[in-house]
Amino acid sequence: MCSSFRVFRVGISFVTMCIFYKSAANSLPELSPHEYFSTLQPGKASLAYFCQADSPSTSVFLEGLHEAVRPLQDYGISVAKVNCIKEETSRYCGKDKDLMKAYLFRGNILLREFPTDTLFDENAIVAHVLFALLFNEVKYITTPEDLQSAENALKGKANIVFSYVRAIGTPEHRAVMEAAFVYGTTCQFVLTTEIALLESIGSEEIEYAHLYFFHCKPVLDLTQECRRILMEQPLTTLNIDLFIKTMNAPLLTEVAEDPQHVSTVHFQLGLPLVFIVSQQATYEADKRTAEWVAWRLLGKAGVLLLLRDSLEANIPQHANVVFKRAEKGVPVEFLVLHDVDSIISHVENNVHIEEKQEDGEDDVEGPDIDIQDDEVAETVYRDRKRQLPLELTVELTEETFNATVMASDSLVLFYAGWQAVSMAFLQSYIDVAAKLKGTSTMLLTRINCADWTDVCTKQNVTEFPVVKMYKEGENPVSYAGMLGTEDLLKFIQLNRISYPVNITSIQEAEQYLHGELYKDLLSYSSVSVLGLFSPTMITAKEDFTEAGRALKGYVITGVYSGEDVLILSNKYAVTLPALLLARHKEGRIESIPLANTHAHDIVQLITDASLETFPEITVENLPSYLRLQKPLLMLFSDGSINPQHEKAVLTMVEQKHLDSLTPCWLNLKNTPVGRGILKAYFDTLPPLPLLVVVNLHSGGRVFAFPSDQAITEQNLFSWLKKLRSRIRNPISKCLLALMQHSSGVFVP
């Protein structure tokens, strides 16, 4: 901003490079022994590291201690570094520099002392400290006999959380201790590091930490064993917490409401629910089955007994099990399963245990804060080092802009060098220049508005990218098509002539309609439009001319208003004023009367008329068809369309059975993203060809034509008829019935 400012900022570059992230709250207070002991509060735990004042300020231990400040504070344990100074001697200050220790106090009573090498990292510190404090809550045992006596002592009284960790101070140990801090008063925690002990209760894999929940509370007979449930997830604080919560939840719940609305603690913890459907007559037997299932599924799913008799919601007659996935918003499944094992396996196959990340405070802020999720920005950034043949276009500046666009017909791309969308489009723009090289009279130019902001503002360009065409004697025209090579090329080619073309004779008009007049342009415009007017229809002709200009660059338009225009109107059986629409691909000429139609409506008329009856949908043309606001009847085909299918649809179109739909087809070879669509509908790629109705505009539902039926006129007709009644009805009531016929998908 000012000179002095600039100069002194030069010094920063080095500094900027060596900045590292510092966490704000992890401050470790440094105190003298006197200060430290004066801060101790009765009943409060505190960990202090005593060290010589002249000892090095950084060490592996101190780094770990810094990290542990926050977690320990969460448990109400304060942490301090005490500097032993000569003036104040304390018995905690060792004599030898290398023998400094950390001490754990409760109030001013010493609980434990730790040699610093046992506290090798954050996890070890937290684990050791909690272990010392939770001496009563966590019993450390070494032999199977110890475990047996603990179990016996607690039968009928409390449940046991038994865990094996490979060593004290590991992350798993810390996770168990953290869980003990929370659940230590309601469950007895038992901990071991002895492999033999783990083997004695029958674990096979002894390489990893294990955690069992012993259901001892319900055991009233001392000879009976406590039921042992193994936690299958890795030992993290979060997993243990979830596991204990589900273990403590009621084994079986009875409900009499719509399964769709039922939610239990299991469901809230992200587990699926299994409803065993019961009725009065078989209640007792069902309840036993349900309890058995519940034991088997303990920790994996919640089990409920659903009483059909007192239920209002409709459950299919044969269904005996209802399965509700853990994902929110997924409809429940009605199943017919004949034994307990198939229930268990159904649950196990449909549950994928999500890896739940331990998220600390830092992650909550959004772990992806600097991960780019904008595909355009990311791809442009990744492509930044590629050299584009920019020389194919003329770069304009403030000085050259006016002279250039006045001297020749020019296309100007206004872009901003820092904007990703601009830079992505610049690539297509250069492609166009390469394709037109040496063949076009149109000069392709560009101006970087990041450099020449005033020029862009003067040209009324305040957003990017914008393409404008400057032609002598005409107002500049903004390009309004797709920002891609093909469409821009089309626009440039079609702009070689001016619109509407003035047709001078009947003969020329016929040539025009039959595609002989502008042969080289036909591939760029699907239709040629000819406006027919008698010489006196001045306003109508003006309206059409305006429409023709508006469509310039997108559709070929021509106008004829000779004295002998009646010859044409008679030939094509239409009253004047009228439009003739030549579809060159199909070799058809259609006529449309024009009565008191304004320019704007003519544009719309031509746009609509240039749509095809059974188009191949592409990325480029979909918006034109979506504008019709009708459900799409879409045939997905891997390659060209089967002629029989095409014929079936076209016949239906002719018979006006498809007027309420937009029939179309998609060639996965030309439009591979169609696969993504199918996967979104069906999760996996279904067999092709496949016919679907996509109702985007009301309800967002997708219906698939039954794959076991052939796509014939008749089948199609009856399917659509059924479908139509479904679409009209409210969704929930017809849901089950609908399933018999097709697959319904809700598009959110």
Partner 1 sequence: MWGSPGLLLTLALHPALAVAPARDYCVLGAGPAGLQMAYFLQRAGRDYTVLERAPGPGSFFARYPRHRKLISINKRYTGRSNAEFNLRHDWNSLLSHDPRLLFKHYSAAYFPDAGDMQRYLGDFAGRLGLRVQYNTTVLHVALDKDRRAWNGHYFVLTDHKGQVYRCRVLLVATGLSVPNRVDFPGSEHLEGYESVSVDPEDFVGQNVLILGRGNAAFETAENILGVTNFIHMLSRSRVRLSWATHYVGDLRAINNGLLDTYQLKSLDGLLESDLTDLAILKDREGKFHVTLKFFVEEAGTNQSADAVTLPQDDSDNFAMRVAYDRVIRCLGWNFDFSIFNESLRLSSGSEFSRKYPLIRASYEAKGSRGLFVLGTASHSVDYRKSAGGFIHGFRYTVRAVHRLLEQRHHGVAWPATQHPITQLTSSVLRRVNEASGLYQMFGVLADVILVQENATAFEYLEEFPTQMLAQLESLTGRRARHGLFVVHMEYGRNFSGPEKDVFFYDRSVGHTEDAWQSNFLHPVIYYYRHLPTEQEVRFRPAQWPLPRPTAIHHIVEDFLTDWTAPVGHVLPLRRFLENCLGTDLRSFYAESCFLFALTRQKLPPFCRQGYLRKQGLVSTESLRRHGVESGLMQDHAAAGQHLRDRGQQPGDRGPVGHPPAAGMLAQSLNSDKEEL
The residue length of the chain stands at 748
The piece of 115-123, 184-192, 323-331, 577-585 that touches partner 1 (CB under 8 A) is 323-331
Is 15 one of the binding residues for partner 1 (CB under 8 A)? yes
User: Total residues contacting partner 1 (rule CB under 8 A)?
Assistant: 107
Window 340-399: residues binding partner 1 (CB under 8 A)? 365, 369-370, 372-383, 386, 397-398
Among 193, 404, 485, 662, binds partner 1 (CB under 8 A): 485
State the helix-helix crossing angle for 731-741 and 713-728, rounded to 10 degrees.
160
Among 203, 238, 686, 734, binds partner 1 (CB under 8 A): 686
The H-or-E segment that residue 304 falls in is strand 302-307
Burial of 669 per CB tally in 10 Å (0-12, 13-18, 19+): exposed
Is 525 one of the binding residues for partner 1 (CB under 8 A)? no
Report the distance separating Cα 162 and Cα 147, nearest Å. Answer: 9
Q: What would the 3-class secondary structure string for 624-678 be?
A: HHHCCCCCEEEEEECCCCCHHHHHHHHHHHHCCCCCCCEEEEEECCCCCHHHHHH
**Count of Cβ atoms closer than 10 Å to residue 460 Cβ:** 11
Window 35-74: residues binding partner 1 (CB under 8 A)? none
**Count of Cβ atoms closer than 10 Å to residue 746 Cβ:** 11
Is 319 one of the binding residues for partner 1 (CB under 8 A)? no
Whichever of 491 and 518 has its CB closer to partner 1, that residue is: 491
Is 12 one of the binding residues for partner 1 (CB under 8 A)? yes
Task: Rounding to the nearest 10 degrees, give the CA dihedral for residues 219, 224, 226, 227.
Answer: -100
Among 89, 135, 348, 418, binds partner 1 (CB under 8 A): 418
Nearest to 474 by CA among 454, 456, 498, 445: 498
Report the distance separating Cα 497 and Cα 625, nearest Å. Answer: 28
Whichever of 207 and 327 has its CB closer to partner 1, that residue is: 327
Window 626-655: residues binding partner 1 (CB under 8 A)? 626, 632, 638
Is 414 one of the binding residues for partner 1 (CB under 8 A)? no
Question: Which CA distances in Å does 199 have to 143, 210, 221, 234?
Answer: 11, 11, 25, 19
Task: Encode 214-249: b = buried (16+ Cβ within 10 Å), e = exposed.
Answer: bbbbebeeeeeebeebebebbbbbebbbbbbebbeb
Whichever of 208 and 746 has its CB closer to partner 1, that residue is: 746
Whichever of 32 and 743 has its CB closer to partner 1, that residue is: 743
Burial of 190 per CB tally in 10 Å (0-12, 13-18, 19+): buried
Whichever of 60 and 480 has its CB closer to partner 1, that residue is: 480
Report the distance separating Cα 431 and Cα 488, nearest Å. Answer: 10
The piece of 213-221, 226-234, 527-535, 704-712 that touches partner 1 (CB under 8 A) is 704-712
Is 620 one of the binding residues for partner 1 (CB under 8 A)? yes
Residue 565 φ then ψ, to 5°: -60, -25
If you search the block for the tokens 């404008």, which residue do you land on?
468
Among 473, 623, 643, 730, binds partner 1 (CB under 8 A): 623
Give me the least distance between CB of 737 and partner 1, in Å please.
11
**Count of Cβ atoms closer than 10 Å to residue 295 Cβ:** 14
Give me the least distance between CB of 715 and partner 1, in Å please.
12
The piece of 46-54, 57-65, 641-649, 688-696 that touches partner 1 (CB under 8 A) is 688-696
Whichever of 69 and 455 has its CB closer to partner 1, that residue is: 455
Whichever of 373 and 520 has its CB closer to partner 1, that residue is: 373
Give me the least distance between CB of 631 and partner 1, in Å please.
12
Window 423-482: residues binding partner 1 (CB under 8 A)? 424-425, 427-428, 431, 449-454, 462-464, 480-482
Whichever of 256 and 745 has its CB closer to partner 1, that residue is: 745
Window 88-107: residues binding partner 1 (CB under 8 A)? none
Whichever of 19 and 281 has its CB closer to partner 1, that residue is: 19
Burial of 86 per CB tally in 10 Å (0-12, 13-18, 19+): exposed
Whichever of 24 and 573 has its CB closer to partner 1, that residue is: 24
Among 67, 121, 286, 487, binds partner 1 (CB under 8 A): 487
Q: Which two tokens stand for residue 552?
A: 């310039």
